[in-house]
Copies of this chain bind each other. A is one copy, B any other.
Amino acid sequence: MALALPRGRAGARAMSQRIPAHVGDSLAAIGTPALVVDLERFERNLAMMAGATQGIRLRPHAKSHKCASIALAQLARGAVGICCQKTDEAAAFVAAGVRDILVTNEVVEPAKLARLAALARNATIGVLVDSPSVIPLLSGAARHADAMLDVYVEIDVGAQRCGVPPGKPALALARLLAGAPGVRFRGLHAYHGAAQHLRAPSERRAAVAGAASHALTTRELIERDGIECPIVTGAGTGTWRHERDSGVYNELQPGSYIFMDADYGRNVVDAQDLRFEQSLFVLAGVMSVPAADRAIVDAGLKSLAFDSGPPLVHARDGVDYVRASDEHGVLRVDASSSPLALGERIRLIPGHCDPTVNLYDFIVAVRSGIVEAVWPVDARGAVG
């Protein structure tokens, strides 16, 4: 078995990750499938969130876009920094000039901690902890890198994923952090992931009320112990308004609001909820029309994430995306719909935007039907 890499491998990679469009192209010239952002909708989403969070720290979650250009745009509109989910994701943003990153995750392996601490030489780097055994590792990595790490205690406020129970277990970690070299205890991380897609507004409100109550109790316990607990951070696109108004959270981490997706579209919103616009689409091309009621597009399992269901077809009544394989999407075309033609393009609304973005190397940003920018997805695949 040949183990040596053939020459030109870098060239092969460049060729296979073809840039799907160039600035100035019309929509019709974009190579499909492609990830397309409607700039007018996208910018309204950024502005709306910035406007609604004037009195509170906004730290948008960059896991949704993995794109330095977007992070810089969020920072320019007043964000205090960004969130990332993995060390290598943070590394990509530090390399692009972002100087304040909270990794909303526990990092426990020495090799990863070394990389994280090295980033902290050039940027403010935060990380979460939910186990006492990791604190000496955090200290050791920070000291070895001659840097400081901001550490937040993660409390489980209902998502039943990571985190210690609220109250005394969190206090125990805060005490250990307060006494540990190389680390600064910055506060509590209280993200209620399971609340984001609760469909009824009242359910989301109640879930965050519970989360805020746990966070408040925990913060007070820590402060009564003489330890400052400056930050309570959390929230997502489904619930952020409630964290904002809780009087407990003072930093918000929504991510998907910039793009939206079909799953968030299934949340019921009430009169007080801000409505973000669908700005992200997968542009797909029809490559087969085998029957009157069926058309096949070139976007399948490798062009869309299917964890939250199939995509919706944007602005094409009577056309539904019903089945996918690796590189094909089967559309069912109602008799009432105008037929689809070979080569025609459609826009698909992804079921779940974050893992869909992670499939692509580039985002094509379009205004009024013309490509205005092509943004590299800088942290694509940065799962380490």
- One digit per residue, 1 when the CB lies within 8 angstroms of any chain B CB and 0 when it does not, for chain A 331-365 equals 00000000000110000000010110011110000
Chain A stretch 29-47: residues in CB contact (< 8 A) with chain B: 29, 31-34, 43
The reply to whether B3 and A372 form a contact with Cβ atoms under 8 Å apart is: yes
Nearest-CB residue, chain B, relative to A164: B290
- Asked if A302 is at the interface of the complex by the 8 Å CB criterion, the answer is yes
The reply to whether A342 and B134 form a contact with Cβ atoms under 8 Å apart is: yes
- Asked if A54 is at the interface of the complex by the 8 Å CB criterion, the answer is no
The reply to whether B161 and A328 form a contact with Cβ atoms under 8 Å apart is: yes
Binds B, one of A182-190, A214-222, A225-233, A373-381: A373-381
A interface residues, tally (CB under 8 Å):
96
Instruction: Give the Cβ gap from A245 to chain B, nearest Cβ, in Å.
Output: 25
Nearest-CB residue, chain B, relative to A32: B384
Within 8 Å by CB of A327, from B76, B85, B287, lies B85
Q: Which residues of B contact A324 (CB under 8 A)?
A: 307
The reply to whether B287 and A106 form a contact with Cβ atoms under 8 Å apart is: yes
- Asked if A18 is at the interface of the complex by the 8 Å CB criterion, the answer is yes
The reply to whether B92 and A130 form a contact with Cβ atoms under 8 Å apart is: no
The reply to whether B382 and A131 form a contact with Cβ atoms under 8 Å apart is: no
- Asked if A8 is at the interface of the complex by the 8 Å CB criterion, the answer is yes
Q: Which residues of B contact A95 (CB under 8 A)?
A: 8, 11-12, 15-16
The reply to whether B193 and A111 form a contact with Cβ atoms under 8 Å apart is: no
Within 8 Å by CB of A352, from B301, B343, B361, lies B301
The reply to whether B290 and A9 form a contact with Cβ atoms under 8 Å apart is: no
Q: Which residues of B contact A134 (CB under 8 A)?
A: 342
Give Cα A134 to B288, complex, Å: 10
Chain A to chain B: the 9 pairs with minimum beta-carbon distance, closest first? A16-B92, A16-B382, A12-B95, A162-B288, A306-B307, A301-B355, A85-B327, A16-B379, A31-B384
Starting from the known contacts A2-B69, A9-B378, 14 additional A-B residue pairs (CB-CB under 8 Å) come to A8-B95, A13-B92, A16-B88, A16-B95, A18-B91, A18-B382, A32-B109, A33-B384, A86-B327, A105-B327, A131-B288, A160-B294, A307-B324, A360-B381
A–B Cβ pairs within 8 angstroms, 17 of them = A3-B372, A5-B376, A12-B378, A13-B378, A16-B379, A16-B381, A20-B384, A31-B112, A105-B328, A108-B288, A131-B289, A161-B290, A161-B296, A162-B296, A303-B383, A307-B324, A358-B359
